[in-house]
Structure formats: C-alpha cells, structure tokens
Chains A and B, each alone.
Chain A
Amino acid sequence: MRLLFAAALSAMLFAPVAAVTARPLVLAVGGEPEGGFDPITGWGSYGTPLFQSTLLRRAPDLSLVGDLATDWTLSPDRTRWTVTLRDDARFSDGTPVTPEDVAFTYNTARDAGGLVDMAGFEEARVSGPHEVQLDLSAPRISFTSRLATLGIVPAEGYGPGYARAPVGSGPFQLVEWREGAQLVVEPNPYWHGGEIGFDRVSFVFGSEEAGLALARTGQADLVAVPASQADSAPQGMTPLNVETVDNRGLMFPMRPDTGQTTDTGAPIGNDVTADRAIRVAINQAVDRDALVTLALAGHGRPATGPADGLPWDNPQGGIPGADPEGARATLEAAGWRDADGDGLREKDGLSAAFDVVYPAGDSTRQALALGVAQQLRDIGLHVTPNGRSWDEIRALMHAQVVVMGWGAHDPSEVMNLYHGSGAGAGYFNPGFYSNPTVDAHLEAAERAPDFEASLPDWQAAEWDGTTGFGAKGDAAWAWLVNLEHAYWASDCLDTGARQIHPHGHGFPITHDLPDWRWTCEE
C-alpha cells in the first residue's frame, strides 16, 4: 500500500507539467466601473486593480505582503508610515515608479472626495530616493487597508482623462474599453510581478443572463452565476463556489423606546429587543444550518460574527445556535413567560413580538426573515416578517429589527458597525449600539503598533471573556449566514488559492488573476 502511494506520488511529481501556453481569456463577472479605472475615485477596492499596483497586497490568507513596497514601518507614536519602494517597478509606458508618484496619489485621493475613505490621513511626503512617508492625524491601524487597495497613479500624466486611459504599474494595460460592453486588457510588459498566463483578458459586461448565455455557448471561461444556477454548469465547465464573508444577519435596536426620534423624525428604540435576554435567546434559538439550506439552497455557511474566518474574527464570541432549550431557559430566567397560554411570551404586560424588516426585492433576505420567524415561534417569540423598500427601511431601522448584510477585508468595518461614536449614523450602526469597553478595545486596536498586533484587540471587542459585541456579550446582532458566491469556471482554468471573498459577487474573484493558469494543451 505504502509502495503504491509512493509510486503514485513520484508519478505526480515527475509527470511532465502541461506546457503553459499563453491564450486569450474571456470573463463575465460584472463589475464594470462606470466611472472608469481611476484608483483615486475608488477603482480597485475589490478584486484586482488590473492596471495599477498597490504598496501592499493581501495574500490568499489575507496577510499583508509587499507589492510596490519592500519595507513598511509605523512610527512609535503610530501616526507615520515610512514605506520603502522597490526600485524596479515601471509604469506600462516604461517610466519608473517614483516616491513622488506615491505621494501624489495619496495626497490627491485625500482631496478628491471619491470612494477612497481617507479619513484621518494628513499628508504624504517624499523622504528619500525610494522612500515615502505617510502622516496620519491620529493612530489608525485600519489605514493599512488603504495601503493594500489604493493603486498608484503616475504624477506625470494624471488628469481628467486618466480614468478612461489608465497608465499604471500593474499586471495589465488597457487595450480597449467599450463602455457597457467589454474591456480588453493585455499584459503590461514592464510588470514587476512575473509572467501572466494569458496574452489577452476580456471582461464582458452587461447582464447576468448575457454571461450565462456566453458560458452555454462556450464563449466565456469564467462567469458569475446566481446561486440557483450554481450546480448546473454546462459541459466543459465546473461549478466554483467561493466561501465569503458576504454575510446576512439581524440588526437589533438596542435602546428602549422613549419616544426619542432622529433629526429626520425617525423613531428610535424598541422595548422588546432592548432586552439583552431576547437578543441572546434569538442567537441561541436560530438554526443557522437550516437557514443555509432554506435561504441559500445549501450554498453558504452559518455566520456567528461580522467577519467569520478573517484574521480579526473571534469565534469565541459567537453562539452556534440551534438550541431552543437553552433559549427558553434564557427567556424564563429574564422573566419572559407565557402566562396566558397563547404560545407567546410576555413580561410586565409587554408581548415578545417584533417585526423583522427586509428589503422587499431581495429574495434571500426574505427567505431568512421568514425562516427566522418560523424558528422563533418555537421559543414563544412572535416575529412578523415585513418587506419594505430601502427608503422605508431607512426610516424604520432605528426601531425595528432589520436583515442587513456586510463583509469587507477591512477591520474598519467592525469599527463602523460597533463603535459608539457611529451610533445612528447611516446604515452601519442604526441600532445605537454603544458599550464603553468595546469602544476601548476598538480604539486600542487602532492604536496598535502594526496590523498583526491589532488583531487581539479587534477580537477582544467581539468577546473579551466578560463582554463584547458578540452574541455571548451584548448580542448586538444575530448573524445568520455567510453566502457562497457561485461561478462556472472552465475545466481548464486554474484559479489557484483563493481568499475568503468580501460582500459583492463577481469581480472580487479576479483578485489573483495574474496567477491564474490555463492547464489544458491547445
């Protein structure tokens, strides 16, 4: 047996590796940036920036590695990054990448008012022939994510037309962009990152149906497909289901209803969900595996936190669920009892009844709301699913439970969701969650000397043994599921090791496009 194994292994090792021939690749994964390919206004925060390179990049395990940077250090007071650049990087027009270009990019992005969140960034300065300094106004370790997403543009030649004729030091250069139809790119001969396995890559835009039709006629090599189509790949293609942190959960209003309203007149507070026992019991009762089967047709995994599986996640803070007995005990202990025998619990004359609001056009969230309502009836909570438009939800979300979804490769999302300073601002923290201990952990994380060192503090914010925003602590949310993103990939396409994907189905799969290989002989 062992001999057989050894023989098989050596056969695998010494088998002639299929010659990698460059060939064109056609992708239909959406993600067309209508505004063009300008990193300064937000291009490239998900997936590969194609044309530009970044100072750092995230490896498949989401750790940070250098791209343009060979060394990066944070000053002792945590407000100054000193970044050393590699000296062999060139833009696709052949000119070298200089620290001036980096400083120009960061300073321009700060003033642009685009989609790059540069809050807390002060100024970038050239400090040596291959060195640049980035100054922050206050310690902010999550700014590291900017280093990994902001593509560098050439100071010379950047202008109003840049977004539609991008020049950068990334793996590809633009050949043609027919807006609304197709983007054609070819490898950048000056790229510092190695060989690319394709002599041309085309991105077909338009509708999802168009992508499916192209796949069925064999004209596309990788397409994003809806979950319902995940398993029915046409001949020559394989279903590719990618794990994500594209999560869905129940956001709870944390305050009791005291008649308070926001500036726009929206009511704040919900007396039922303001009780921690209710929120914990919901986390204990929901059967997340059943919800994955019901709402996602099995294409997903249970969610217990906002960043399941990412480095700053703390699985200790979650409650796995599917424990109605435990949930009933929690409710009994807190005084929620069914005194009148109608199957519904009350406490001090208040019924344990609330709405779960979901955006009416989203069938996944609808299925989650219905499934949760069914499961919670079992423990004596009366939940009414309620489909509304996002506009209505904006007025309801401070007083009603809402099915929401997040998931980013950036811990500042955790900050936005749970820090007390953001209570009531936008969609992040509509429940007015605020806990000084959690705030302190989050602030400590932002003050960390480097990204690795910040991880324990992010995790402590979720659960530090006594409190946290996680289900064992304040249970500010009941996270339910993480979606899987479904694709069909050609049998011949090797997309290598993949990251856990963020919110947003489609273009994020291209993150490691330069490493993809074609494994069939032509």
Chain B
Amino acid sequence: MSWARPLVLGRLVRLAWLLPLAAVGLFTLISLAPIDPVQAYVGDRTALVGSDQRAAIAAAWGLDRPATERFGAWLGGVAQGDLGRSITYDAPVSEVIARRVPASLALIGTAFVTSFVVGTGLGIAAATARGGVGDRILRSLAVVLSASPGFWIAILLIAVFAIALGWLPSCCAAPPGLTLAEVGIGDRLRHLVLPVATLSVVGTAPLILHTRQRLVVFLDGPAAQHLRAHGLTERRIAFGAGLRHAVGPALNLHLAGAGELFGGSVLAETVFAWPGLGQATARAATGADAPLLMGIGLSTLLLVFCGNLAADIAARIADPRLRHPRP
C-alpha cells in the first residue's frame, strides 16, 4: 500500500486550499443573491411586523452588519468549531445538519447501492446479448433515462405507482398519523421505494452504458476467446472474469458521481416531502440563510471529496496498473 500515502497526502493539501476558496465563493454568491433574509424570515407575517421590528430582527441576527464583517464573524466561529446559527430553523447549524443527515444518508445510500447493482447488472446483461434485441432495448432505455430530468421521472413514478395503481406511497418517510416508534420497518421500506427509484436513475444510465462498453471489449478480446475455447458458457465468462474486469472502473465512475447523487437528492426530497438535508437546502436557499447554506455546502464538498478519494483508492485496488503511474 505504499502508493496510498502520497495519494492521500496530496489530496489533503488540495483540500486545504479548496475549502477556504469554496467558503469565500459560497458566501459571495449568497450575499449577492437578490433575497432579503429579513423579508424571508418574516414571510407570511409581513402585515404584522412593522419596520422597527424588522430593524430589531436584523440586529438580532447580525444582518445589519456589512457582508465582510459577517463573513469574518462566521470564520471566527468556524475556527472554534461553531458553524453559526440558522435563521430559518432558529437552531445551531450543526444541530440542523445532524438532525437531517440520517434521513438523507438512508436515501442516498440506498440509491447509491441500488443504482450500482442495477446499472452494472444491466450493463453486463446488455454486453452478453450484444447486437441482439435485449441489448438494443437496454441501450435505448439507458439513453432515454440519461436524457430524462429527475423531476419528470418522479412525477411519472407517482402517477403510475402511487395514484393509478395505488401500490406505493407518494410522500413522506412514514405513514401519516403515527409516531416514529409506531412505524414498522416494512412501512419505512415501502416509503423508500419511489424516492430511491427517482434518485437511482441519475447514476444507473451511465453505468449501464459504461459497463457494457468495457465488457464488450473484454468479451471480444483474446482472453475471453481463450476461456470460450475451454468450453465456458458466455454467461459464466461475463459474470465471472468479465465482472471483475468491468466492476473496478464502474465503481470508480460511480463514486466520482457521488456529488450528482447529492444534488439529485435535493430534488427527490422536495418532491417526495422527504425530511432530509435536501429539503433543508431548498429552504435555506429560499431564505438566504447564509450560515446553514455554508454549513451544508461545505459538508457536501467534504462528502464529494471523500467520494472522489474513495473512487481513486478503489480503482487502484481493482487495477494494479494505476498504482505506479509511469513517469
């Protein structure tokens, strides 16, 4: 594992300049956004809150100070491990994130595994049937899926499975009227199906096409011909040696796309009323809630960064040729 140390160290150096750069960029964007946080906070109650009280709200949240000063205060807090206070949720940012991370991780994690298994599986199936009807159907499906916007797929799934057929719930993480302790595991899984399906589509389509391509090259190569000559069936070659051949790059591709999965979860959570980080992001954005957006933005950056690092490590484990790049 001598290759791992320089890789991780190099990445940590990159992170050290990436984080401050992202923080400044994010804060600038939020400050420039044409949303008045006080107005967003007041919301529906505009008629009941006079201008003196607005000034009091701005003062209580420090919104009356210039942007540079607010950024300085935020940075000082972060240095001491305090991510600030969210005006939308009237709670510490770290608390808001911690409360919402489990729901999001359940969603993203399940979608990550599902799209990997389904995408690779279908890719291999397409490769074994290359040129045939099954291959064409799968390829068309992949192209259609990758061209479909997530919200459209969500609406389609709800219309078919929730409203027309009535098989699956279209909203929320649990049935209404019950406390968490009263909700069974079966119910929770049922509520997970449609959001996960929506979110998985983002990652599935490229995986199908990618895996198929890698495997076709392998199956048409001399190694596969050799195996065939020994009498192995096409299916055993594909799911045996072929799988090992295709799965490394597929995992690499999939891990590198972890950021897209997070972006997709904002949409899926909004459509399916899923109480996770994505929903909080949408609320924070419409409320110009700078500390919360910064907190979520930077933790997403860390997540994507770790995803990419894991992808590189996984690729090196799967493919020894990558461990010692030629000079």
Footprint of B on A, CB under 8 Å? 24, 26, 28, 34-36, 38, 41-42, 45-46, 112-119, 163-164, 175-176, 178-182, 184, 200, 202, 204-207, 209-210, 213-214, 216-217, 219-220, 389-391, 406-408, 410, 412-413, 416, 422, 425-428, 502-504
Q: Which residues of A contact B48 (CB under 8 A)?
A: 45, 115, 117, 408, 410, 412-413
- Contact (Cβ within 8 A) B42 A115: yes
Q: In the complex, what residue of chain A is closest to B283 when comparing beta carbons? A: A34
Q: Which residues of B contact A36 (CB under 8 A)?
A: 89-91
Q: Which residues of A contact B51 (CB under 8 A)?
A: 422, 425-426, 428
- Contact (Cβ within 8 A) B90 A35: yes
- Contact (Cβ within 8 A) B34 A180: no
- Contact (Cβ within 8 A) B45 A45: yes
- Contact (Cβ within 8 A) B176 A214: yes
- Contact (Cβ within 8 A) A176 B100: no
Tell me the bound Cα distance from A73 to B146 in angstroms: 69
Tell me the bound Cα distance from A389 to B39 in angstroms: 14
Beyond A202-B178, A391-B35, 19 extra complex contacts between A and B, CB < 8 Å = A34-B90, A113-B56, A114-B57, A114-B60, A175-B179, A178-B173, A178-B174, A178-B275, A180-B275, A210-B172, A219-B175, A219-B177, A410-B47, A410-B48, A412-B48, A412-B50, A422-B51, A428-B50, A504-B44
- Contact (Cβ within 8 A) B89 A35: yes
- Contact (Cβ within 8 A) A202 B177: yes
Q: Which residues of A contact B16 (CB under 8 A)?
A: none
- Contact (Cβ within 8 A) A26 B177: yes
Tell me the bound Cα distance from A206 to B178 in angstroms: 16
- Contact (Cβ within 8 A) B176 A182: yes
> Is B59 on the interface with A (CB-CB < 8 A)?
yes
Q: Which residues of A contact B173 (CB under 8 A)?
A: 178, 181
- Contact (Cβ within 8 A) B273 A205: yes
Tell me the bound Cα distance from A175 to B89 in angstroms: 20
Interface size on B, residues (CB 8 A): 53
Tell me the bound Cα distance from A406 to B44 in angstroms: 10
The 10 A-B residue pairs with the shortest CB-CB distance, nearest first, are A206-B273, A113-B60, A35-B90, A180-B275, A210-B171, A391-B34, A408-B47, A181-B275, A504-B44, A117-B53
- Contact (Cβ within 8 A) B47 A210: no
Footprint of A on B, CB under 8 Å? 34-35, 39, 41-42, 44-54, 56-57, 59-61, 88-91, 99-100, 158, 162-163, 166, 169-180, 270-276, 279-280, 283
Task: Assess A207 versus B47: contact at CB under 8 Å? Given A113-B59, A163-B90.
Answer: no
Q: How far is the CB of A197 from chain B (nearest CB, A)?
A: 16
Q: Which residues of A contact B56 (CB under 8 A)?
A: 113
Q: Which residues of A contact B178 (CB under 8 A)?
A: 184, 202
- Contact (Cβ within 8 A) A206 B172: yes
Q: In the complex, what residue of chain A is closest to B171 when comparing beta carbons? A: A210
- Contact (Cβ within 8 A) A119 B57: no
Q: Which residues of B contact A34 (CB under 8 A)?
A: 88-90, 283
Tell me the bound Cα distance from A26 to B175 in angstroms: 11
Q: Which residues of B contact A220 (CB under 8 A)?
A: 176
Q: Which residues of A contact B274 (CB under 8 A)?
A: 180-181
Q: How far is the CB of A362 from chain B (nearest CB, A)?
A: 14
- Contact (Cβ within 8 A) B271 A119: no
Tell me the bound Cα distance from A178 to B52 in angstroms: 34
Task: Assess A115 versus B41: contact at CB under 8 Å? Given A180-B100, A213-B171.
Answer: yes
Tell me the bound Cα distance from A410 to B49 in angstroms: 11
Q: Which residues of B contact A390 (CB under 8 A)?
A: 39
Q: How far is the CB of B197 from chain A (nearest CB, A)?
A: 16
Q: How far is the CB of B193 from chain A (nearest CB, A)?
A: 15
Tell me the bound Cα distance from A407 to B48 in angstroms: 10
Task: Assess A119 versus B53: contact at CB under 8 Å? Given A176-B180, A213-B162.
Answer: yes
